[in-house]
Amino acid sequence: MLGAGENGRVKVKGSRQSMTAHLLSALEPKLDESALLTVDLGALGRNWREVARRSQPGICSAVIKADGYGLGLEPVMRVLLAQGCSTFFVATLSEGRRARAVSRDATIYLLNGLAQDSPVGLKALNIRPVLNRLAEIAEWTAAGGGTAALHIDTGMNRLGLPAKDADLATILAQGFTLSLVMSHFACAERASAAMNDRQIAEFAALRAKFPGVPASLANSSGIFLPQNPVLDLTRPGYAVYGGNPTPGRANPMEPVVRLAARILEMRDAAPGETVGYGATWAATRPTRLAVVGVGYADGLPVSASAAPGKPPAEAFVEGRRCPIVGRVSMDLSVLDVTDARGAERGGWVEILGEEIGVDELAERARTIGYEILTRLGQRYARAYVGG
């Protein structure tokens, strides 16, 4: 059940186990890394089924851009295919190529449209562009067409056809099959935002110009809005990977990512002694410190350190929450483990997991969980469990 994978990654098959001591001790002889990232593909599959259930009567796709939100495009896509997901969204052509290599038959949409990618390359891979402007519609038609989606902007002012061009688009798009008309929420994670109602109303009027074409508006948080704007197709990403689509309320999703770091060194600091660059923290009591092998190069942001008016992020050590002390450095962080009896050199601490989720770490680092996920480092040993 254990085998050393390519790139020094460790693969674990046929287990629904979370990151237990058993798993760690099984892996230990294989590990020369000082941290282990565990991706629970079972939880990922259950999260997708849950958002798919909430998307009914619409169909649920999955957004797997940015290497499956940092968790690995290929293993993520394989598990979702097995759960019955057949439509995927990527951002770039290289991601599309990887997704096509996983599945010959899946429907794959490329969100960035024709911005950098030629119609020829997309067609060769049977990838559908999400067209974002009139010129792209014309270019796609000139290249002979083929099935494509159209993104109409309703307030993001990022990619997407300006709403005023929608009428012209209905005419220009007659040269090929439009399989989807979509827009994107700006504030779906705030259920009370007035902008949600505005975007829902504007998109309803715009999609009506394309009779018979399936429509899509909801990302993860959109699926949980009281207006229930699931339409014909939903496009969840974050919730599938365990992020909380309903900030401020309990997370309805299961955690997918667990990040454990090894204690490389234990030390004692007397009152007045400081830790780390800038000597930003000083002991106020005799303190037991644990040095762990995860730093900002691994995606633990410097901003997870304490700052004026903001507590530091914590790690879970021997059943206790222990704060980061001093400034997170490139490869190392230091924890105050005075209260975690049993912490010792060679032991493991949990930076992300059941106890401390990506949303909590993001809040303590003054960022969003999406950024935490997509910046998870590449030098971790990785274990895929439960797939």
Ligand X SMILES: *Cc1c(COP(=O)(O)O)cnc(C)c1O
CA dist 267 and 288 (Å) reads 6
CB of 180 to ligand X, least distance (A): 11
Which token pair is 175? 């040269």
- Active-site choice (13, 65, 296, 380): 65
CB of 362 to ligand X, least distance (A): 13
| 114 or 275: CB nearest ligand X | 114
CB of 63 to ligand X, least distance (A): 4
| 75 or 276: CB nearest ligand X | 75
CB of 370 to ligand X, least distance (A): 6
| 223 or 337: CB nearest ligand X | 223
> Within 10 A of 175 (CB to CB), how many other CB atoms are there?
13
CA angle 371, 375, 381 (to 5 degrees): 140
Ranked by CB distance to ligand X, the top (closest) residue is 237
| 203 or 238: CB nearest ligand X | 238
Catalytic residue flag (residue 370): no
Concatenated DSSP letters for 82-144? HTT--EEEESSHHHHHHHHHH-SSSEEEETTTTSSS-HHHHHHTT-EEEE-SHHHHHHHHHTT
Segment holding 182, helix H or strand E: strand 178-182
Please report, for residues 159, 187, 226, 245, 383, the alpha-carbon distance to residue 16 in angstroms, rounded to integers and kept in the order given: 40, 35, 33, 24, 12
| Block residue for tokens 């439509």 | 87
Which token pair is 368? 């969003």
Catalytic residue flag (residue 277): yes
Alpha carbons within 13 A on the beta-carbon side of 293 = 19
CB of 236 to ligand X, least distance (A): 5
Q: Are 312 and 325 in contact (CB under 8 A)?
A: yes
| Block residue for tokens 């060679």 | 346
| 47 or 305: CB nearest ligand X | 47
- Active-site choice (30, 277, 296, 380): 277
Which token pair is 220? 């993860």
| 159 or 266: CB nearest ligand X | 159
CA dist 239 and 187 (Å) reads 15
CB of 219 to ligand X, least distance (A): 3
CA dist 243 and 247 (Å) reads 9
Closest CA to 245 of 277, 221, 269: 221
CA dist 210 and 173 (Å) reads 10
Q: Which bin fits 213, alpha (ψ -120 to 50), beta or left (φ > 0)?
A: beta
Concatenated DSSP letters for 304-370? GS-BTTBPPPEEEETTEEEEEES---SS-EEEE-TT-TT--TT-EEEEESSSS-HHHHHHHTTS-HH
| 166 or 322: CB nearest ligand X | 166
**Residue numbers at the binding site for ligand X (CB under 6 A):** 63, 65, 111, 184, 219-221, 235-238
CB of 218 to ligand X, least distance (A): 8
Query: Which positions are catalytic?
Result: 65, 277
